[in-house]
Amino acid sequence: MHIHEINDMGYTKSGGGYCTSYVERLQSLLDESAETDQVIIQVGEIVRQMDESDREYQKPDDDLRTLIVRAASNGKKPPGLCMCEPAGFYGKDLGDAGWGCGYRNAQMLASALLKGPPYVAQQLRVELGHDYVPNISRLQQLIHRAWELGFDGDGAGELNNAVTETSKWIGTTEIFALFSSMRIECAIRDFSNGNGDLPMQLFTFCRTYFSDNRPGRFRGPLCIQYSGHSRTVIGVDTTGIDCNPSDPKLLQNIGLLIFDPGQSQWDIEIQGNPTRTWYKAHIYRPMVSFKEQTYSILYFTGNILTDEQYEAMKQPGAGHFHTV
């Protein structure tokens, strides 16, 4: 049975969105047989029902933050970690593998906002109409709504004003439009390798952001985008910052703490005690590994947009800043 036949039976959404992608990938992993077709149809129906609920089915591990700290502490000296407010990890599955990183990042950001300052969490709950993290299909609807409200007109045009029920990639600009349309203030900082010290620029920006301990300061996670992928930054590891600035090992000894949506929740699951090996394989990314020529980082201010600011965020280039 081919995917279009299953679609015709009403078990998946048309247009190549999350449900269709899930069933297509499942079908590619299984042998063809009558029994397999029945399994695909049954799973397709379950996925469709979950999708229509608007609620993300993944349940993040609330202890993951503690496990990360324990794993990082297994090195030769105490780690220097600066971390964001609690955020859940949402990773890829069969429905979005290969294209869903932006949506998974948006889910991780939303999970932190819903646990953030009461006024921010309440604003997001009001805009969403509920207190849970939306699934990918619902996020696509919300991004389309943001476009209709006038946010990110250029980005909407690049995606032909269509994102719902598709497998189109999104990045920081779409996430910016998403949260700005819900009056959650955020901004994007663009970085380019103008003078060759881009990794240190990224690290300095993230370190400053996560180490800001002013009373009432909301340190939400960041979303970092580069060519072909985006990830969520939950903190920095400054353990090796005492190295001589000219030491070639400096960029190997400092890094970002990353929730990578290219991994699944099963990929990062800890078997037994958290180890330094697990930490370096799944969370820690040394600055020496950041080799792209340009990056964009989306961050939150912890503020709610006023009516005037809300309208201003609709202007081309609003909320974008550049670091050379």
Q: Is 131 a catalytic residue?
A: no
Q: CA 257, CA 87: separation in Å to the nearest integer?
A: 12
Give CA torsion, residues 234, 240, 242, 246, to 10 deg: -110
CA distance 245 to 120: 39
Of 110, 105, 108, the C-alpha closest to 120 is 110
Whether 229 is a known active-site residue: answer yes
DSSP label at 289? Answer: G
Q: Return the closest-CA partner of residue 315 out of 176, 184, 190.
A: 176
Structure tokens at 6: 């299953």
The single residue of 61, 190, 229, 320 carrying the catalytic annotation is: 229
* Beta strands 255-259; 222-226: pairing state: unpaired
Residues in Cβ contact with 216 at an 8 Å cutoff, skipping those fewer than 6 apart: 117, 302
Residue pair 202/196 in contact (Cβ under 8 Å)? The answer is: no
Question: What backbone phi and psi angles, to 5 degrees, belong to 8?
Answer: -60, -25
Catalytic residue, chosen from 19, 84, 101, 186, is: 101
Catalytic residue among 93, 144, 260, 282: 260
CA distances from 274 to 56, 93, 146, 268 (A): 27, 24, 41, 11
**Strands 284-286 vs 184-192: parallel, antiparallel or unpaired:** unpaired
Backbone φ and ψ for 48, nearest 5 degrees, come out as: -60, -45
260 is catalytic: yes
Query: What are the residue numbers of the active site?
Result: 101, 229, 260
